[in-house]
Chains A and B, each alone.
Chain A
């Protein structure tokens, strides 16, 4: 997933990075096709170049050798709301067929079955980043037809479409999973299977989501990770296997 997510990044993108796989993906992209990627963390580190894999989003290694340190007010008001962020990475406990994300509660809000951590910066990243990339392994539990709580808006939900809500960013455009890649359809914004990993059958992918998954007519099979990508990930970027 880290390799696939890395390939979604363009050279020069300003990326709002989360911890874990997105962080690895960004470092891989920077070591391969996107040397001018700018990493921004919600903690305030701008142009971070961490020498070690950060364990938290506020790791001191994000500051050492960075381009700058911003207050969180600047990060959210000027960088994100100011329209300076091209890519935001999000994950979540539930992602529905329109890419709406729930990271708040499973079950009803007042009496949750599971109390999750909450939005953090997710809601505003989903609203403002030009492109949102969601990274999550595919399973019917994580990908239900509807989410229990709308923490971060996707392409369409009960409040309207991104256009009718006048949301400035593009919302989730790529859902990178462990078996293939989903993307919103151009007609109605519903997620459909657009790319599949070698050896995976579309029929098997359909079993892993909670709605009748459409398969795009020009479904592509993605290139497997190259030897260089695997070497960088395993031996250079995550030698202690913190995330792999």
Chain B
């Protein structure tokens, strides 16, 4: 399926959308297509909103943000997010805030089809005072008061991965964050991959599979779809892009020009990669570090 078709069919106005990936495998290609298709009133959820949600917020797609750490790693603020929170530009943005553990636990509950998840956390912190969704429950065995967070069940989760077969049996290596939980918690799952492979490739190394195709609604083949994030074994993180975004995103006029050039001005990811240029592609392409296979025989 093309990205255009996948977003058009499975991401709707008003949806709760999760595009996960902790530094690794963040699907910017999907976000840019959501912006091109002008989705509105989305509730966006991610541990680290990162540049990807800063872009969606700047484009006016979001109504609410559920998060646990909102910054440009090592560089400071997300400026579009701050404009939305501090000045309601381009639209007001509601915040619902957790710590990483809390948000991971919400996705764990969602994936397990439980109403909430208990955790030993938040005592001595102001976070429950500003987020009424963080509550406590008495343990029926020990009487201990445990913090709880409610299940998160996204309308749609978008996962970027190194490879999948045509039916969506998906394999990831390197950091996989909460990609599994986010996918199993969701009503609809879109998988975006660097490579589509034969089912036999998946079957040859089953321990690397993060989820099976039967929970997947759409498989999109989109090489370099995670840039400026990275895909282990394919391309490195484009740290220069993250640094440039700090300047790029400070003024709305500059940002408009950026959107015209890199989002509205390209039809799809293939055109984006062409615009990125061979120099950048060469700079970021991964050097080989091949892992030996194992014996699955019996």
Contact = CB atoms under 8 A, between A and B. Distances in A.
Nearest to A61: B236
**Interface of chain B, main secondary structure:** loop
A42 B47 CA distance: 12
B242 to A, nearest CB: 8
Contacts of A127: 120-125
Contact of B68 (A109, A119, A149, A157): A119
B52 to A, nearest CB: 13
A23 to B, nearest CB: 11
B262 interface: no
A56 B74 contact: yes
B100 A119 contact: yes
Interface in B205-257: 230, 232, 236-237, 239
Interface string B113-131: 0000001111111110010
Contact of A72 (B81, B97, B177, B236): B177
Interface stretch (A1-9, A165-173, A204-212, A216-224): A165-173
B125 A153 contact: yes
A63 B180 contact: no
Given A124-B121, A157-B124, A72 B100 contact: yes
A119 B69 contact: yes
A225 interface: no
A44 interface: yes
Interface string B254-298: 000000000000000000000000000000001001000000000
Interface in A143-196: 149-153, 157, 159-160, 162, 165-168
A149 B126 contact: yes
Contacts of A69: 173-176
Contacts of A165: 123-124
Interface residues of A, number: 51
Interface of B: 22-24, 47-48, 67-71, 73-74, 77, 81-82, 85-86, 97-101, 104-105, 107-108, 119-127, 130, 144, 173-178, 180-181, 230, 232, 236-237, 239, 286, 289
A56 B48 CA distance: 12
B270 to A, nearest CB: 24
A83 to B, nearest CB: 10
A29 interface: no
A12 interface: no
B298 to A, nearest CB: 24
Contact of A159 (B120, B124, B181): B124
A118 B78 CA distance: 12
A120 B70 CA distance: 8
A121 B22 CA distance: 13
26 contacts: A19-B74, A44-B176, A55-B239, A56-B74, A56-B237, A58-B175, A59-B23, A59-B237, A60-B237, A63-B175, A72-B22, A72-B178, A73-B107, A77-B108, A81-B101, A109-B126, A112-B86, A117-B70, A119-B125, A124-B100, A127-B123, A127-B125, A150-B126, A151-B125, A162-B124, A166-B123
A116 B120 CA distance: 24
A240 to B, nearest CB: 12
Which 10 pairs, one residue from A and one from B, show the smallest C-beta to C-beta distance? Answer: A58-B23, A153-B124, A117-B71, A120-B69, A119-B99, A123-B99, A76-B101, A150-B126, A124-B101, A121-B100
Nearest to B231: A60
- By CB atoms of chain A within 10 A, which of B82, B98, B175 has the most? B175
Interface string A114-146: 011111111110011000000000000000000
B175 A123 contact: no
Contacts of A72: 22, 47, 100, 104, 177-178
A160 B124 CA distance: 7
Contacts of B108: 73, 77
A32 interface: no
Contacts of A77: 101, 104-105, 108, 119
A80 interface: yes
A76 B236 CA distance: 26
B232 A63 contact: yes
Given A59-B23, A63-B232, 18 more contacts: A43-B177, A55-B74, A56-B239, A60-B286, A62-B175, A69-B176, A73-B104, A81-B101, A115-B77, A115-B86, A119-B68, A119-B100, A119-B125, A121-B99, A123-B121, A153-B125, A159-B123, A160-B124
A26 B174 CA distance: 22
A155 to B, nearest CB: 10
Contacts of A119: 68-69, 97-100, 125, 127
A36 interface: no
A123 B69 contact: no
Given A44-B22, A73-B104, A64 B121 contact: no
A80 B101 CA distance: 10
Contacts of A59: 23, 237
Contacts of A60: 24, 174, 230, 232, 236-237, 286
